[in-house]
Amino acid sequence: MNSDYRITIIIPHYNGRKILSDCLLSIRQNTFKSYTTIVIDNGSSDGSQEMVRHEFPEVRLLENETNLGYSGACNQGMKLSQTDFILLLNNDTVMPPNFLEEMFRVISANEKIAAVQPKILSIQDKQFFDYSGGAGGEMDILGYPFARGRIFDMVEKDKGQYDALSSRVFWTSGCAMLLRHSVLKTVGYLDEDFFAHQEEIDLNWRLQLAGYENHVALSTYIYHYSGFTLRSHNQYKMYLNHRNNLIMMLKNYSALNLLILFPPRLLLELAAIVADTILWDGKRAKAVMKALFFISTHPLFILRKRFQVQKLRQVSDRAIWQNMYRSSVVIDHFVRRMKPLQCIRRFRRKSS
């Protein structure tokens, strides 16, 4: 891989020939030209490979015989990269011409910044934030991720309501995440056992344990077809989200804080099972039960992961809590009926 470029763009792909074409065309239109692109195909059956070879000869195409998932494909590309920065990009995104330039400007301004995302807007309704990251990702102390502009199924219009806040966030979305490669060589790449969903949040948590920061570039955006690969009501997606989130919490918190915070988190998981069984169709209840069964039957698997992560620790949980939502977003949203902006304003100060 040519190291003369500053950014390697890595796009994991599995079917969706038209959306991939739209994504690659938008990359070509960027004003920033110091980049190279790798498409990693996870066994598409719709002719995507031929389309890339014939219509985008400048793109390097890697073809996998089996589906390695988001994390496996991204790691494959990152290990091949020799550039200073790596952009993990979903295939179902479309970017404006200033995208790469503005993302690069933010991450290169401060060596403590390890990851950057743009505003992520819905391509179906461009006035609204996208589910997959909004205007930057946040996390409550019980491990529940949410975003500026999105809490669970509530998504806001982008009215510039987050533009005056600090650009520092807890996590950046794998939908469009620019990473500092030198830091990845220290903290490791994505956890491939996650397969898909929340592996980027886990990585962002590790980056903070190693003393780095994650930010949002509010000067640019990307449009995203949210849920193109797995729809939000897909039970397998629900299972991965709950399982991976619990593993992430068990990996990254200190032992003392796990003793304090994991029991109430489990109570909320049990409450989700009861509520979904009584009020809805029971899909999420089954997904949560399957996730809890996995956690309870794989203690050594989780302990090995935890041991590797805790060796990286340079920062205390107390310091990381300054960048977390120090309440329960579940209770604040569903019981107190708080909207995303209300929650964010509880702990994010305006930037100077």
Answer yes or no: is 147 within a domain.
yes
Q: Are residues 202 and 243 in the same domain?
A: no
Q: Are residues 163 and 34 in the same domain?
A: yes
Contact 56, 13 (CB under 8 A): no
Q: Are residues 125 and 274 in the same domain?
A: no
Q: Are residues 191 and 269 in the same domain?
A: no
pLDDT in tens, 101-111: 999 999 999 99
What is the pLDDT, as a whole number, of residue 54?
A: 98
Give the end of a domain, one of 180, 205, 224. 224
Q: CA angle 106-161-329, nearest 5°?
A: 95
List the beta strands (DSSP E) in the chain.
7-13, 35-41, 60-63, 85-89, 93-94, 113-122, 137-139, 145-147, 150-151, 154-155, 168-169, 176-180, 213-224
Contact 167, 217 (CB under 8 A): yes
Answer yes or no: is 119 within a domain.
yes
Instruction: Calculate Rg over the CA atoms of the chain.
Output: 19
pLDDT (average), residues 17-35: 97
Q: Which domain holds residue 296?
A: 235-311
Answer yes or no: is 336 within a domain.
no
Answer yes or no: is 346 within a domain.
no
* Residue 205: CATH number of its domain: 3.90.550.10
CA 296 to chain centre: 25
pLDDT (average), residues 154-182: 96
Average pLDDT, the chain: 94
Relative to beta strand 113-122, strand 137-139 is unpaired
pLDDT in tens, 263-320: 999 999 999 999 999 999 999 999 999 999 999 999 999 999 999 999 999 999 999 9
Q: Are residues 112 and 247 in the same domain?
A: no
pLDDT in tens, 151-163: 998 999 999 999 9
Answer yes or no: is 45 within a domain.
yes
Give the end of a domain, one of 173, 198, 224. 224
Asked if residue 7 has pLDDT above 60, the reply is yes
pLDDT (average), residues 26-30: 97
The rounded percent of the chain whose pLDDT value lies above 90 is 91
Q: CA angle 158-164-168, nearest 5°?
A: 95
What is the pLDDT, as a whole number, of residue 349?
A: 58
Helix, strand, coil: what percent of the chain each, to 5?
45, 20, 35
pLDDT (average), residues 18-23: 97
Contact 160, 219 (CB under 8 A): no
Q: Are residues 147 and 250 in the same domain?
A: no
Please report the DSSP string for 178-240 in residue order.
EEEHHHHHHH-S--GGG-SSSHHHHHHHHHHHTT-EEEEEEEEEEEE-TTSSS-TT-HHHHHH
Answer yes or no: is 328 within a domain.
no
Nearest to 71 by CA among 231, 237, 238, 191: 191
Distances (CA, A) of 347 to 69, 135, 138, 264, 318: 35, 16, 11, 21, 15
What is the pLDDT, as a whole number, of residue 3?
A: 64
What is the pLDDT, as a whole number, of residue 144?
A: 97
What is the pLDDT, as a whole number, of residue 352?
A: 32
Q: Are residues 180 and 244 in the same domain?
A: no
pLDDT bracket for residue 124 (50, 70, 90):
very high
Q: Are residues 218 and 253 in the same domain?
A: no
The residue written with tokens 């952009």 in the block is: 87
Q: Are residues 188 and 48 in the same domain?
A: yes
pLDDT bracket for residue 350 (50, 70, 90):
very low
Name the token pair of 56.
């985008």
Answer yes or no: is 255 within a domain.
yes
What is the pLDDT, as a whole number, of residue 229?
A: 54
Answer yes or no: is 347 within a domain.
no
Q: Are residues 284 and 138 in the same domain?
A: no
The phi, psi pair for 121, rounded to 5°, reads: -115, 155
Number of domains comprising the chain: 2
The rounded percent of the chain whose pLDDT value lies above 70 is 96
Give the end of a domain, one of 311, 326, 342. 311
What is the pLDDT, as a whole number, of residue 345?
A: 86
Q: Are residues 132 and 254 in the same domain?
A: no
pLDDT in tens, 219-270: 999 999 975 555 557 899 999 999 999 999 999 999 999 999 999 999 999 9
Q: Are residues 182 and 307 in the same domain?
A: no
